[in-house]
């Protein structure tokens, strides 16, 4: 699913990520390439243009958070726009109101309605809902048989009386559900190859008979912009609350999934990914955006850095760290910043290129960070600024004050000294590089 678009985005993003500075020109260039990828994925051209316009507006003149490459920042902007395009948050099926709640499933023939009815029943069973499937596709005798078979497979009861009109099947199913204390009725309806008046009349009758809490429109995700077009027609009549994209296991280009929400204004609620009744995924815009950009973790890295590192403070710290004045107070500041960003090992995992390369024990664990902090907090201000005054008796005092052992204090002072030396060396190196040596 989405392999093709992921691959193409990956190529474009690799270039963007390496961007050293965001200028109007390279933002323009990046946007042009993103637009091409979107159009090749069969995204609606209007949707693609609007998408690009808002990425540009957000990227131009944007300050870059400390600790992040400008290119990564742009990737994050693209990601956030993609999430917005896909609908921001997951919207669950609406089942509130009088019981049984009725879900009406509509869409063109062959889109995957009947299969989806069974999948939805199974999905809801995990949420403690007990659903009855109603066979209101009365035009094809095989449809009721198919629903019965799928219901059996999913462990769900099926109401298929035969010989009744679609609206009477639906109403009968509601009565049956009440009798059997089932709280949900999922109504499978007939579709045509194209939208037509008879079908709409029939759906209108069903709607009037059972007052559905939710109408779901099922579209074949493989058909790209055709799915979007039929969604537009169904949005006008009979209207619907959410979209189900099926056959997402196929090699469709993903364009329907990317544009259908923007075009219809209705949220995608599920992706159907196979013929079996368990092949259903709740649709989460953020997860799909990350998957499409093939970069999930950069986003969380940038977010955490933005939340926890104040840019100026970080720059000041960097200057002091590499200068001669690196003290235990800076050391503790730095530890706190790092800890705010989350477990170190997890953080390292998120840095592209570092994943799996840093041995687990190279990263200090949380416990020892807490210990180090306690030790430094037990020192006087003078001791923190001039650690060389810390003699044997001070070490004993600090150890008992922080609930640690003298060895721990010794170890910390040794680590600090090594770090101070390293910082000085880095400072010199940077100076040399700046001077062009
Ligand atoms: N690969 C795949 N096939 C599906 C999916 N959903 C439905 N199908 C198949 O698509 C065909 C039409 O599905 P059906 O539920 O009968 O569509 P309906 O005419 O809208 O009721 C059937 O062969 C299904 O097995 C899916 O998510 N993935
Ligand atoms: Mg069917």
Q: Write the pLDDT tens digit of every residue in 99-124.
A: 999 999 999 999 999 999 999 999 99
Under 8 Å CB-to-CB from 229, ≥6 apart: which residues? none
How high is the pLDDT of residue 301?
55
Fold designation for 3-89+293-297: 1.20.120
Q: Domain ranges for the chain, please list them.
A: 3-89+293-297, 101-283, 310-434
Mean pLDDT of 322-332: 69
Mean pLDDT of 396-415: 90
**What is the C-alpha to C-alpha distance for residues 5 and 292, in angstroms, rounded to an integer?**
7
Instruction: State in Å: Cα 190 to ligand 2 middle.
Output: 6
**What is the C-alpha to C-alpha distance for residues 380 and 372, in angstroms, rounded to an integer?**
15
**Is 139 near ligand 1, meaning CB less than 6 Å away?**
no
**What is the C-alpha to C-alpha distance for residues 68 and 48, in angstroms, rounded to an integer?**
27
CATH number for the region 310-434 comes to 1.10.260.30
Nearest Cα neighbor of 341 from 286, 301, 297, 372 is 301
Pure H helices in 294-405:
296-308, 311-322, 328-340, 344-350, 366-377, 381-385, 392-402
The answer to whether the beta carbons of residues 203 and 220 sit under 8 Å apart is: no
Ligand 1 pocket test: pick from 142, 230, 246 the residue with the most ligand atoms within 8 Å of its Cβ. 246
Instruction: State in Å: Cα 270 to ligand 2 middle.
Output: 18
Mean pLDDT of 382-386: 86
Q: How far is CA 41 from the centre of its chain?
A: 20
**What is the C-alpha to C-alpha distance for residues 332 and 383, in angstroms, rounded to an integer?**
13
**What is the C-alpha to C-alpha distance for residues 253 and 269, in angstroms, rounded to an integer?**
19
CATH number for the region 101-283 comes to 3.40.50.300
How high is the pLDDT of residue 355?
41
**What is the C-alpha to C-alpha distance for residues 318 and 341, in angstroms, rounded to an integer?**
17
Residue 347 pLDDT level (bands cut at 50, 70, 90): very low
The proportion of the chain whose per-residue pLDDT surpasses 90, expressed as a percent, equals 43
Starting from the CA of residue 115, give the closest ligand: 1
Instruction: State in Å: Cα 111 to ligand 1 middle.
Output: 6
Sign, CA torsion 397/403/406/412: negative
**Is 273 near ligand 1, meaning CB less than 6 Å away?**
yes
Instruction: State in Å: Cα 141 to ligand 2 middle.
Output: 10
The model's pLDDT over 218-228, given as tens digits with 9 standing for 90+, comes to 999 888 888 99
**Is 183 near ligand 1, meaning CB less than 6 Å away?**
no
Residue 293 pLDDT level (bands cut at 50, 70, 90): confident
Ligand 1 pocket test: pick from 218, 275, 279 the residue with the most ligand atoms within 8 Å of its Cβ. 275
**Is 114 near ligand 1, meaning CB less than 6 Å away?**
yes
**What is the C-alpha to C-alpha distance for residues 132 and 126, in angstroms, rounded to an integer?**
15
Q: Choose between 347 and 214: higher pLDDT.
A: 214
Q: Choose between 276 and 426: higher pLDDT.
A: 276
The answer to whether the beta carbons of residues 269 and 284 sit under 8 Å apart is: no
Q: Which of 8-22, 94-108, 303-317 has the lowest mean pLDDT?
A: 303-317
Smallest CA separation from ligand 1 atom 13, residue: 112
Sign, CA torsion 195/196/198/200: positive
How high is the pLDDT of residue 26?
83
**Is 275 near ligand 1, meaning CB less than 6 Å away?**
yes
Starting from the CA of residue 218, give the closest ligand: 1
Ligand 1 pocket test: pick from 112, 135, 144, 230 the residue with the most ligand atoms within 8 Å of its Cβ. 112
**Is 115 near ligand 1, meaning CB less than 6 Å away?**
yes
Mean pLDDT of the chain: 82
Ligand 1 atom at shortest distance from the alpha carbon of 250? 1
The answer to whether the beta carbons of residues 112 and 79 sit under 8 Å apart is: no
**Is 266 near ligand 1, meaning CB less than 6 Å away?**
no
Q: Choose between 323 and 12: higher pLDDT.
A: 12
**Is 221 near ligand 1, meaning CB less than 6 Å away?**
no
How high is the pLDDT of residue 181?
96
Q: Which of 157-161, 208-212, 351-355 has the lowest mean pLDDT?
A: 351-355
**Is 284 near ligand 1, meaning CB less than 6 Å away?**
no
Instruction: State in Å: Cα 65 to ligand 2 middle.
Output: 52
**What is the C-alpha to C-alpha distance for residues 330 and 416, in angstroms, rounded to an integer?**
11
């Amino acid at each position: 699913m989405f392999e093709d678009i992921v691959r193409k985005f990956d190529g474009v993003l690799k270039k963007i990520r390496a961007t050293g500075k965001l200028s109007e020109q390279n933002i323009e260039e990046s946007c042009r390439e993103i637009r091409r990828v979107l159009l090749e994925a069969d995204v609606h051209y209007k949707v693609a243009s609007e998408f690009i316009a808002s990425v540009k507006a957000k990227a131009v003149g944007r300050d870059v958070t400390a600790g992040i490459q400008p290119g990564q920042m742009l990737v994050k902007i693209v990601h956030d726009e993609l999430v917005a395009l896909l609908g921001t948050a997951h919207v669950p099926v609406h089942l509130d109101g009088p019981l049984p709640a009725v879900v009406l499933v509509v869409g063109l023939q062959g889109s995957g309605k009947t299969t989806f009815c069974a999948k939805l029943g199974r999905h809801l069973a995990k949420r403690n809902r007990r659903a009855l499937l109603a066979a209101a596709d009365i035009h094809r005798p095989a449809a009721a048989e198919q629903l019965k078979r799928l219901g059996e497979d999913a462990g769900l009861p099926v109401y298929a009386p035969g010989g009744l009109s679609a609206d009477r099947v639906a109403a009968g199913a509601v009565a049956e559900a009440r009798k059997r204390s089932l709280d949900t009725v999922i109504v499978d309806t007939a579709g045509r190859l194209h939208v037509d008046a008879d079908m709409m009349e029939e759906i209108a009758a069903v709607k009037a008979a059972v007052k559905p809490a939710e109408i779901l429109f099922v579209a074949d995700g493989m058909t790209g912009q055709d799915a979007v077009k039929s969604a537009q027609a169904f949005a006008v009549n009979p209207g619907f609350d959410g979209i189900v994209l099926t056959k997402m296991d196929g090699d469709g280009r993903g364009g329907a999934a990317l544009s259908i929400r923007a075009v219809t204004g209705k949220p995608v609620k599920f992706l159907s990914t196979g013929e079996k009744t368990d092949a259903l995924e709740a649709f989460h815009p953020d997860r799909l955006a990350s998957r499409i950009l093939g970069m999930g973790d950069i986003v969380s890295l940038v977010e955490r850095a933005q939340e926890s590192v104040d840019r100026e403070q970080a720059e000041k710290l960097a200057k002091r760290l590499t200068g001669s004045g690196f003290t235990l107070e800076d050391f503790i500041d730095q530890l706190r910043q790092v800890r705010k960003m989350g477990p170190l090992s997890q953080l390292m995992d998120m840095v592209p290129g570092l994943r799996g390369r840093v041995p687990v024990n190279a990263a200090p664990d949380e416990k020892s960070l807490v210990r180090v902090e306690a030790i430094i907090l037990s020192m006087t201000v003078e001791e923190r600024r001039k650690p060389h005054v810390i003699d044997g008796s001070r070490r004993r005092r600090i150890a008992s004050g922080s609930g640690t052992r003298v060895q721990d204090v010794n170890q910390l002072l040794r680590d600090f000294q090594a770090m101070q030396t390293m910082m000085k060396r880095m400072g010199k190196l940077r100076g040399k590089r700046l001077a062009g040596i």
